Amino acid sequence: MIREVVLVSPRGHCAGVVRAIASVERALTTFGPPVFVRRAIVHNSHVVARFAAAGAIFVKELDEVPEGAVVVFSAHGVAPSVRERANEKHLRVVDATCPLVAKIHREVLRYRSEGRSVVLVGRSGHDEVIGTLGQAPGVRLVENASDVAGLRIANPQLVACVTQTTLGPADVEPIIDQLRERFPALSQPAAPDICYATRNRQAALAWLADNVDVVLVIGDKASSNSQRLVEAARAKGAPAHLIGSLADLQESWLTGACAVGVTSGASTPDDVVQDVVAYFRDLGAVVREERALEEAVTFALPHEVAV
């Protein structure tokens, strides 16, 4: 019987997601529907569905957008070729790229201008990775430490590394170690590429995994940071499951558990989390909130929709 639900913070929307969601909201208010959005604004089906109902039209590529229309670029960022296509079609662009992703794009361009080969640690096919790979010719993607041996680099003394923002330290560090072993002169950004929200949510998750019987991570299957939270909980020895909403909860996961821990990925709306919490509260569980870390990061809106 579940006696206690521990809801940990920080969880849910990060500053980049808040900015991206507000960008679409402001675009709909300022320009009126339809507003086109390239790819999912954030990786959460609930957010996408709500905006679609409000007049946002989600497209895969800009060829689906009429000439001169309003288009929002997602938080994951885009390659320069996408910006060029937007200019060709005279689109009014609202750029909701997360500032932390934009930082990585600038790093790639800086390293290439210095004549360095750039290695990106990330997951193939992720929208952020696609955008970063497109920033400059010749950026190499490495997904695992075993991939490092296969890299062909013209000058081993001129190699730099950047990482996908939504990976965890446990994903990145073994790969960086291998890169540094093979390329001792490896250059890296002064500040970590893994975003503050990913680090904070994984730190909070580590505490949660030590204090409950089972962990529920509420987030979309397409959300990289949500998937990493599940992996991090399991690495701590806690049973952990990713659910998109209350409908995905399986009672068998709770057998023998007294305390359930709940957290959510950076793109998950809090009302979806509260639906899960309310379910347990209705069963008689006591709900306790625990704040593992303080978080107070904010980002300004894109100038196209700023007041």
Q: Are residues 86 and 107 in the same domain?
A: no
pLDDT at residue 152, as a whole number: 94
Q: Cite the active site residues.
A: 128
Q: Are residues 261 and 216 in the same domain?
A: yes
Q: Are residues 202 and 286 in the same domain?
A: yes
Tokens representing 220?
Answer: 């979309």
DSSP conformational letter for 191 = S
CATH number (domain holding residue 138): 3.40.1010.20
- Is there a domain that residue 165 lies in? yes
Q: Is the peptide bond before 10 cis (omega within 30 degrees of 0)?
A: yes
pLDDT at residue 34, as a whole number: 97
What's the mean pLDDT in 15-37?
97
For residue 159, list its beta bridge partners. 117
pTM for this model (two decimals): 0.94
CATH number (domain holding residue 74): 3.40.50.11270
**Can you tell me which residue has the tokens 């709306």?**
269
> Which of 182, 210, 239 is where one domain is finished?
182
Q: Are residues 144 and 77 in the same domain?
A: no
Distance of alpha carbon 39 from alpha carbon 36, whole angstroms = 9
What's the mean pLDDT in 207-234?
95
For residue 307, pLDDT over 80 is answered with no
- Evaluate whether 215 touches 261 at the Cβ level (below 8 Å): yes
Tokens representing 214?
Answer: 């089972």
**Can you tell me which residue has the tokens 């000439």?**
67
For residue 170, pLDDT over 90 is answered with no
- Strand pairing report for 286-291 and 259-264: unpaired
Q: Are residues 75 and 118 in the same domain?
A: no
> Which of 97, 122, 157 is where one domain is finished?
97
- Is there a domain that residue 162 lies in? yes
pLDDT at residue 171, as a whole number: 87
- Is there a domain that residue 273 lies in? yes
Total domains in the fold of the chain: 3
Q: Domain range for residue 36?
A: 15-97
- Is there a domain that residue 70 lies in? yes
Q: Are residues 68 and 51 in the same domain?
A: yes
What's the mean pLDDT in 238-263?
97
- Is there a domain that residue 304 lies in? no
pLDDT at residue 1, as a whole number: 84
Q: For a pLDDT cut of 70, what percent of the chain falls above it?
A: 100
Q: For a pLDDT cut of 90, what percent of the chain falls above it?
A: 94
Tokens representing 188?
Answer: 């890296």
Q: Are residues 118 and 82 in the same domain?
A: no
- Is there a domain that residue 188 lies in? no
Tokens representing 126?
Answer: 């992720």
- Is there a domain that residue 171 lies in? yes
Q: Are residues 164 and 225 in the same domain?
A: no
- At residue 262, what is the residue type? V
Distance of alpha carbon 304 from alpha carbon 307, whole angstroms = 9
Q: Are residues 205 and 144 in the same domain?
A: no
Distance of alpha carbon 174 from alpha carbon 123, whole angstroms = 15
Q: Are residues 50 and 128 in the same domain?
A: no
- Is there a domain that residue 298 lies in? no
Q: Are residues 171 and 200 in the same domain?
A: no
> Which of 97, 131, 166 is where one domain is finished?
97
For residue 192, pLDDT over 90 is answered with no
Mean pLDDT of all residues belonging to the chain: 96
